[in-house]
Structures are given as structure tokens and as C-alpha cells.
Amino acid sequence: MAPHANGDSNGSVAAAPAHNGSDLFVVNSPNVAYSEDVIKSTYTYQSTKVTKTADAKYVAQPVETKYDFKVERKVGKVGLMLVGWGGNNGSTVTAGIIANRRGLTWESREGIKKSNYFGSVVMASTIKLGNDAETGEEIFIPLHDILPMVHPNDLVLGGWDINSMNLADAMDRAGVLEPDLKRQVREEMKQFQPLPSIYYPDFIAANQEGRANNLLSGSKQEHLEKIRKDIRDFKQTNSLDKVVVLWTANTERYAELIPGVNDTSDNLLSAIKSGHDEVSPSTIFAVASILEGVPFVNGSPQNTLVPGAIQLAEQHKAFIGGDDFKSGQTKMKSALVDFLVNAGIKLTSIASFNFLGNNDGLNLNAPQQFRSKEISKSNVVDDMVAANTILYEKDEHPDHTVVIKYMPAVGDHKRAMDEYYGEIFMGGHQSISMTNICEDSLLASPLIIDLAVLAELMTRISWKAASTQEGVSTKEYKGFHSVLSILSYMLKAPCTPPGTPVINSLYKQRAAMTNIFRACVGLAPESDMTLEHKLFA
């Protein structure tokens, strides 16, 4: 068990030295080489290239490309800075990590509970390694053991908030955790005070003004420089090897995309310097992170990562990811719609109603902030529908309505109700109604942990093309594209590299993530064919 967290001079949550990966398994293959510092593998990627003939027929051609992957094994000491540290998610993540470090148990109305990381795909799910050589039984290992990853207990936490409340009081204000658990972590949580943050009233609801008492003064350019300095100071004070910055603050309105303002990196930097009205607080944090070379993830639905920010990240080879945590209702939607469409059922309408009483709900009560959330929730079925041209003609799409209402009485226990209506055989219909009552912050907090762990991991993975069917190869290893689409499983509106498709199918998102990790250790993609059990001599 890791030692207790200790406060330091900048109000961060300190931790034990980081783990440097698991020795749970090794891969016995000529395509994999281990050294003290790196894992190197050669992986054959098989895909299919399709061309269309003049008579509208398709020709499918199998394609093989060999890639070399390199993974740095040393994790080092990692810090996570949260924008909105004093909110429901930030205070819950902090208390949860402290509880897990100390192995705390607490009393609840259902009996004794024990700290865990349930809800985290990294910490609480498994990945198939292979089949037992003698019995054929499937062997599964924890996902976090497939590659060296930072353990959440070892993260050093810090961050910003527009409200000055210490994290113990913020935890009480959130009303998420059980009283006995709060009592046990209160003294440590009291030590942690968020750094002053950025407040542009036009971007969040007016009902948030009463919270805004911990603010940076000056121009937008001065805000950018101060956030950059905060990141550098946090890294230096805590002797960190890496820092990840994650936005878990209020939903902002969409920033207007204006040519000459936020369309290119140079224009965006100039717009910040001139204090243009359409530069949002979240974009300031994103740009600061990019310029400091640290990964930035946007956990809210607004368009933080405007084209200029994406271009800037590409130029600096900095990692970014977004948008909007995919925790409850939308995660169910991306799984259920995938099932229905692949089952040949023509979904014709989706009606989604949300009632929530936390501060996120209060902020979303404002029309412009609701519109940001509506967009991120509404586009989640697009690629699944487009994949089935038997059910849907070109440009045909299910009706999709999203309603969000603020209901203070339910607090953090969000109510989500959905009706899925579709056509079945010979003109029949099917209706599926679902009620999802979820403790919002207890679903979102593990996603924050996953996003931080995976974003850091991607800074240690590089690759090069070893050979293609055309004989093309690259000499030097390079990192993945700046836009980390591998994080899509945790995000409602996945941000992808310009010109690449957006994948919302939950199954495809997880398969992409796990199979890339398998490739890094020279293993084939997970296969459900189980031919070894189906073919007989």
C-alpha cells in the first residue's frame, strides 16, 4: 500500500514514487525484444483496400504493413493538474485516490465498503492474453498490466478553480461521498487549495458568478503566461517527469469559429495576444499545455480544440484529446445503438431526457451551455448509422432529441431516461425504454483517471513503418498523431486527426485501444473466432 498523501507548498497532492510497469508476463517471440529501458516489437498490420470498378462493383485487396513499435518502460513520476479541481469531479477524484492509497474502508447503509477503482477501464477491466497451452482456457490479465502504466495511487494532483474553497469543503459541497469516508480523508483534503483560474463570464452561465472568487487578473495573454508558469512550477516543485492537464470545469458555450481568429495556430496566438472575445478559458488552458509540451484533455462538450489549437499541437508535437466525458447515458447509447443497427433493426428515433441537480446541471440550465452538451450527445450514433446502407439511405438519420433539466433535489444522482424506437420485420415496430440512475461524479471520476493514465502512456510509445507491400519504410521512430483518438472510449464527442473518420461505436473504440497495446508487445489482435475449438482433423 502506498503511503499517505502529503501536502506541499503549492497545494498539490503528493504521492509515492511511480511504479515502472508489471512483470506479469513476457512475450516469447523473435518479433519482441526487451531491454531494461524499452520494449521493441515488430507487428504485421493487416487491412483491406477497396476500389470501385466502372460497373459499380468492389474489388477488395488484402494489404500488409509491418510496423516497429517502441515503448519506454520507465514510467517516472507523473502529475495530473485538473481545471475545476474544486468541482464535484475534482474533489471526488482526489478523495478517491487518497482513499485507495490508504486502503480505506468506511461504513455505509449497505454495510462496509472498501476503496476501489471500479468504473476505470484501465484499473478494473481485463484483456485477453491468449489461451492456456494445455487446457485451451482463455487467460485474462488486468488491462493495466499489458504495458507499463502509471498507477493512479502514484499520481501527484493539483489544479485550478474559479472558487477558492479548499478541497475538504468542496467535497462537502459536492455531496457525492459517504460521510464516514469524508471524515477519514478530511484532514488531508483541507490542505489542498486550488490555484486561481480564468473566468470569462460570457462563456459560462451567469448562475456561476457567485462561485467566482479565485480569479486571475490581467489580459488573456497574461493568463496564458500565468497558466504556463503554473504548469512549470508544479512540475518543478514536485520533481515530476511528466504532467497531464485535464479540463473538468464547467461546460462553456461554443466559441464561434472565425477566419483570422481561431482557424490557424498563428491566428489563435494573435487572438490571445489581442484579447479577442471568442477565445475561451478552456482554449487558453489547451494552448498553455501545448506550449509547455504536456498532454491536454478536454472533458467538457465545448469546442475547446478549435482548428488553431489542433494545428498548434501538431506543430509542437504535443498531445491533445477531447471532448466530453462519456460516462452513463451516452455510453449506454453508443453500445445499444451499435447492437440494434448490427442486428438489422432500423432505429428511427431516440428521445433522451436528463435530470440532474449538481452544479453541472445548474450551469447547463443556460441555453448556450446546454447547446454544447446537446451537440456532444446527439452525434454519438452517426458512424453506426452510416455503416448500414441497407437500413438507411444516404443522409437518412434517426430523429434524435436530447433534453436536460436542472432538478436540485436529485443532486449528483442523475436521472437519464431514453426511448429507442425502431422498425422491425414486415413493418413492425420495437420500443425500448431505459432508465439510468447514476451517481454522475462516481462515473466520471474513473474516466479522468483513465484519460490521464493513457495520455501519459502515449508519450512513451513510438513507431515506424518497417515495410509495406510497396517497399516503403521509415528510418526514425515517431509518436502518434497529436490528436489522441485512442482516448475515444472515454469521450462522447471523440476528437480525431483532421480528415480521419470519427468512431463512436463502443466496441470498436475499445478494440482499437486494446489491440494497439497488444501490437506494442507483438501480439495479434484479440480474435473471437476460436478456430482452435471449431476445427477438427
Q: Among the options 235, 242, 326, 492, which is catalytic?
A: 492
What is the distance between the alpha carbons of residues 194 and 163, in angstroms, rounded to a whole number?
Answer: 8
What is the distance between the alpha carbons of residues 457 and 471, in angstroms, rounded to a whole number?
Answer: 30
Q: Among the options 377, 414, 418, 440, which is catalytic?
A: 414
Q: Among the options 326, 373, 440, 450, which is catalytic?
A: 373
Instruction: Tabulate helix, strand, coil % of the chain (nearest 5).
Output: 35, 25, 40
Q: Are 250 and 204 in contact (CB under 8 A)?
A: yes
- CA neighbor of 514 nearest in space, from 72, 150, 128, 151: 128
Sheet holding 413-423, edge to edge: 399-406, 346-356, 413-423, 429-439
What is the distance between the alpha carbons of residues 490 and 488, in angstroms, rounded to a whole number?
Answer: 5
Q: Among the options 154, 161, 324, 360, which is catalytic?
A: 324
- CA neighbor of 334 nearest in space, from 489, 484, 501, 445: 489
Residue 229 catalytic? no
Total H helices, total E strands in the chain: 14, 18
Query: How do strand 346-356 and strand 399-406 relate by DSSP bridges?
Result: parallel
Helical segments of 401-505, H only: 440-458
User: What's the one-letter identity of residue 514?
Assistant: T
Residue 242 catalytic? no
What is the distance between the alpha carbons of residues 269 and 306, in angstroms, rounded to a whole number?
Answer: 12
Residue 317 catalytic? no
Helical segments of 148-252, H only: 167-174, 179-190, 220-237
CB burial of residue 482 (10 Å; 0-12, 13-18, 19+): buried
CA 299 to chain centre: 7
Q: Are 394 and 122 in contact (CB under 8 A)?
A: no
Residue 235 catalytic? no
SS (H, E, C) 104-126: CEEEECCEEEECCCCCCHHHHCE
Known catalytic residues are 324, 373, 414, 492
